[in-house]
Structure 1
Amino acid sequence: MLEALRAVGYSVQTALADLIDNSITAGARNVWLTFHWNGADSYITLRDDGRGMSEAELTDAMRPGSRSPLEEREPDDLGRFGLGLKTASFSQARRLTVATIKSRGRRAVRRWDLDYVGETGEWRLLKSAAPGSTSRISALDDQKQGTLVLWEQMDRVVGLVDKDDARAQGRFLALAKSVGRHLGMVFHRYLEKEDDKPALCIYLNGNKADSMVRPWDPFCSAHVATCQFPEEKLLFRGARVLVTGFVLPHKDRTSEEEYEAAAGPAGWNAQQGFYVYRQRRLLVAGGWLNLGYNNEEHYKLARLKVDIPNSTDADWDIDVKKSRARPPPGLEERLRELADSVRKMAREVFVHRGARMQAPKAREIDDAWYPATVAGRLRYRIRRKHPLVTFAMDRQGSDQKPLEALLRLLEETVPIQRIWLDTAEKPEAHAAPFEDEPPAEVMTVLEEVFKALRATGETTESAKERILTMPPFAKYTKVIDALGTKKR
């Protein structure tokens, strides 16, 4: 049975997140996670300052299935199946040791050793750390209360490698960083102060501020260009489900650092969709919950936050790893309607590079291109009424044929298939308009657009306002302010 429990399907990231659930439920304010490299004898410790357990409570906690999943839980309890500590640990290590101290109590230790169980054929829960491992749990001795979990013989994490294997050590350290990013995502609402609740601190390979796991907010909530929909309250079997939609800023509205951070651990396309939280703990990070949508490039800015209580675990089909959730049929239709609204706006922001969100005085946006349906087929046309196009045609004089022929050639040879292929294979590879162009070249184009608008009768100020509606000039406000002034 123990060997079978190892195949539940945890990754190192989800396994450690499951352990931290226990720390949070125990009221911990600080968690210290440390990866210790020693080749095949490498080990991981996770220590917290929670309430700790008595010897009887520890023995019960080490028993697989220690609580029935049908049992009603406290509202802030992150557990469900009574399996997390054991299955998460067995999935990565063959030896699990837990040491704990309850306030005003003495330290209690229990150990599962899968090799020992296999050799003896007995479910014998050992009462001490393995020989030579006592020092690995000694960090708990300086605390008045708390719990320390020790993973050893991590065959699924490091395997049989020598401690001098630099490449294996590099992979081990890279894994630690990956775990940190995952924890920053799963527990970001705990790591940030929310609803007057004190923030949780998770330290990775250290105990100083620079080793703290940083929260990752999937919704860019603090960014001025993020569009947040009103929170919707859905009722299902007496339980309240909260849904909030977000459309994230277009790349043109963020710095390179902000855009890279907002992509998330799995990247922009994979992180679009629903984020399901159970008691502020993230269960599902993106995806469309089997509601009939696919991850597509032009919807990558769409994300929806869903908060569910732990009393609805069965309705949402929460799995043992707490990494899957499926909405009950009674909520699917409304969730689909909310997703449609968010996706529609996300597509607008993506297509218009955020300009729809910032057009001053709601003036119509002067796009140079527009889609047109001709004989039932979608085509892309150059807008003849665009100020710069009109200005160029007027300058052409009576013989409009060469310029019109050039515009038609451009319209008929838009490399649609090439663009879609490149977008699918390398979604982040496309350069932004005028990216890396020197300001002088941008100014040259803007001056021609400005002259075209002035020629149509626009005032200096109204011409500048209209230019702000033209993708992709909105972010060049300083250059636009200089239009119409004397040359410097």
Structure 2
Amino acid sequence: MDDPEGTYDVTQPEPSALIESLRAFGYSLETAIADLVDNSIAAKAKNVWIRFEWKGSDSYISLKDDGEGMTESSIISAMRPGSQSPLKERSLKDLGRFGLGLKTASFSQCRRLTVVSKVNNGEIVKRCWDLDYVKIKKEWRLLKLIEPEPLTVINDTISVQGTIVIWEKMDRVSGNHRADDEKAYKRFLEGAEKVKQHLEMVFHRFLDYPNSLKIWINGRMITSWDPFMKSERATQELPVEKLLCDGKNLVITPYVLPHQSKVSTESHKIGSGPRGWNAQQGFYVYRNERLLVGGDWLSLGFQKEEHYKLARIQVDLPNSMDGEWQIDVKKSRAKIPGYLKSDFKRIAVLTRNNAVDIYRHRGKVVSRKHAQDFVFMWEQKTRHGKFFYSINREHPLVQQAYKNGVKIDLDALFSILEESIPVSHILVTNVGEPDKFSTPFENAPPEILQSVLLSSFSALLNTGVEEGEAKRRLLAMDPFSLFPDVVEVCLNEFLKDKK
């Protein structure tokens, strides 16, 4: 029943003002294009072709797919802002949410959005939003007659079925620069590279399927980037956990990635991802296998610190949890519901602890009966509330040195070494160039390692330890734990010659 006239006002939003507001949703170029790819996946596309065409202020970006395409009525609906309510129940495989993605993503980057589409055995249909035209006419006029002809502009067509999205007047991408502006052209290419890396990460699970989605950028097919390095044997998958959220299962799979000494230089470089090892640690939240958040501790109070960089945790959500997780329009942010925070914190602590063990022990999984069995040359201690490092005076080699030398001289030497560790320099170098640190005895002649090993073995024997026990202790001693084969061969030969 209608309310009586005079009891309400109809306040239609001013078109240009509202559209300009829609442009400020905070999309980057890469998140905007990812939103368009979502639509292609929803349309069951097998291929997505993206083109970056530089022509200065006349540059354009186009995205073409071979999905199901749209009829005239469906293209009008798709071009309508707010074409789908977020409250509406959707297909379990739907990647959308607000019915705003195509428009807000496009308007965030350009002032002219054209969509051309064709269903199988249908006619080509097209519509265009020109924000400057809307501003002049002050009406929501969706253009049917588009000049110049968009398919002529991009020199492309749709043969059987599919959709083409074209961005022109890209004030947020190419601006008003001339075509011969080298710096602007370089930024344009850098933007294309960022898009490539982002799509490789966000859609990596789609790209990995048999007969999978293929995405092409300027004619080159992109490859997937797996944050969890599942193809590496040294990657550790921790126990999977299923948490009940609103009557549905939420699946969490923690991973601890390999220490760089356990993978090739190329694999380690790839594993660093678009933002680098430190920035990529944390939770990876997926909705319907599409990545929403890539590497974040989700406000649980953890910092992204160097020694936790090997911790990455996969979280799988169905799209029915969008409201509880506060998924935003850009599909780039999520928030853990309050009642799940304690579980997520527990899983994060477990994964981080495992990651720091691998980081500190250089990937070596050490078998030992007791924690105290592992012998380090250096010990971390606290003095007046601050950390410092001291030489382990109980180390067999240190004990042997005390036995054969002058204690007061050795104490002075050890103290100088301990107090002059270049901690600040090490920290700065480790942050800037973490891969430049050599591993123990890296590229050193084999006889140096063997000499230190035999000296340590002799030192243990001199304390009354039996040969078998001495060997076991060396296998649990830093840095010999990294070279179990050398320990076995070298000590066996030593004992054989001794007999």
Instruction: Give the alignment's TM-score, normalised by structure 2.
Output: 0.87
Greater gyration radius: 2
Deviation at 1:138, TM superposition (A): 5.1
Which range is displaced more, 381-390 or 320-329? 381-390
Indicate the SS of the match to 1:170.
helix
- On the 8 A contact 1:353/1:472 being kept in 2, the answer is no
CA distance in 2, matches of 1:96, 1:161: 20
- On the 8 A contact 2:49/2:217 being kept in 1, the answer is yes
Aligned length: 472
The answer to whether the aligner puts 1:404 opposite 2:411 as a matched pair is yes
2:342 alignment counterpart: 333
Q: Map Cα deviations across residues 136-189 of structure 1 (whole Å, 9 max, x no partner).
A: 4553333x1111111111110011112122222222112111110010010111
2:255 alignment counterpart: 246
CA distance in 1, matches of 2:315, 2:481: 33
CA distance in 1, matches of 2:136, 2:98: 28
The letter of the residue matching 1:324 is R
- In angstroms, what is the RMSD of aligned CA positions? 2.7
CA distance in 2, matches of 1:223, 1:468: 25
Deviation at 1:415, TM superposition (A): 4.0
Deviation at 1:253, TM superposition (A): 2.2
The letter of the residue matching 2:417 is L
2:240 alignment counterpart: 231
CA distance in 1, matches of 2:25, 2:264: 41
Indicate the SS of the match to 1:110.
strand
Percent of aligned pairs sharing the same letter: 46
2:180 alignment counterpart: 164
1:388 alignment counterpart: 397
CA distance in 2, matches of 1:74, 1:472: 55
- On the 8 A contact 1:101/1:107 being kept in 2, the answer is yes
2:36 alignment counterpart: 19
- On the 8 A contact 2:282/2:297 being kept in 1, the answer is yes
1:453 corresponds, among 454, 457, 463, to 457
CA distance in 2, matches of 1:132, 1:52: 19
Deviation at 1:408, TM superposition (A): 2.7
The answer to whether the aligner puts 1:100 opposite 2:113 as a matched pair is no
1:280 alignment counterpart: 289
2:206 alignment counterpart: 190
The answer to whether the aligner puts 1:70 opposite 2:87 as a matched pair is yes
Distance 1:192 1:240, change over 3 A: same
Q: Map Cα deviations across residues 248-299 of structure 1 (whole Å, 9 max, x no partner).
A: 1222222222222111111122211111000000001111111122222221
The answer to whether the aligner puts 1:44 opposite 2:51 as a matched pair is no
Indicate the SS of the match to 2:57.
coil
1:262 alignment counterpart: 271
Which range is displaced more, 368-377 or 226-235? 368-377
Deviation at 1:236, TM superposition (A): 1.4
Superposition map of 1:86-485 within 5 A: 86-131=103-148, 133-136=150-153, 139-142=156-159, 144-193=160-209, 198-206=211-219, 211-355=220-364, 357-359=365-367, 364-373=373-382, 378-394=387-403, 396-397=404-405, 399-420=406-427, 422-423=429-430, 426=432, 428=434, 431-434=437-440, 438-440=443-445, 443-454=447-458, 456-457=460-461, 469-472=476-479, 483=490
Distance 1:316 1:427, change over 3 A: farther
- On the 8 A contact 2:453/2:487 being kept in 1, the answer is no
CA distance in 1, matches of 2:157, 2:127: 14
Deviation at 1:387, TM superposition (A): 3.8
Indicate the SS of the match to 1:181.
helix
The letter of the residue matching 2:454 is F
The letter of the residue matching 1:163 is A
- On the 8 A contact 1:388/1:449 being kept in 2, the answer is no
CA distance in 2, matches of 1:462, 1:225: 29
Deviation at 1:418, TM superposition (A): 4.8
- On the 8 A contact 2:453/2:480 being kept in 1, the answer is no
Deviation at 1:97, TM superposition (A): 0.8
Which range is displaced more, 126-135 or 360-369? 360-369
- On the 8 A contact 2:310/2:355 being kept in 1, the answer is yes
Indicate the SS of the match to 2:296.
coil
CA distance in 1, matches of 2:300, 2:432: 26
1:53 alignment counterpart: 70
Which range is displaced more, 340-349 or 370-379? 370-379
CA distance in 2, matches of 1:119, 1:479: 79
Deviation at 1:323, TM superposition (A): 0.4
Indicate the SS of the match to 1:8.
coil
Deviation at 1:2, TM superposition (A): 1.1
CA distance in 2, matches of 1:47, 1:176: 16
Consecutive unaligned residues in structure 1, runs of 5 or more: none
Consecutive unaligned residues in structure 2, runs of 5 or more: 1-17, 495-499
Deviation at 1:471, TM superposition (A): 4.2
CA distance in 1, matches of 2:62, 2:304: 37
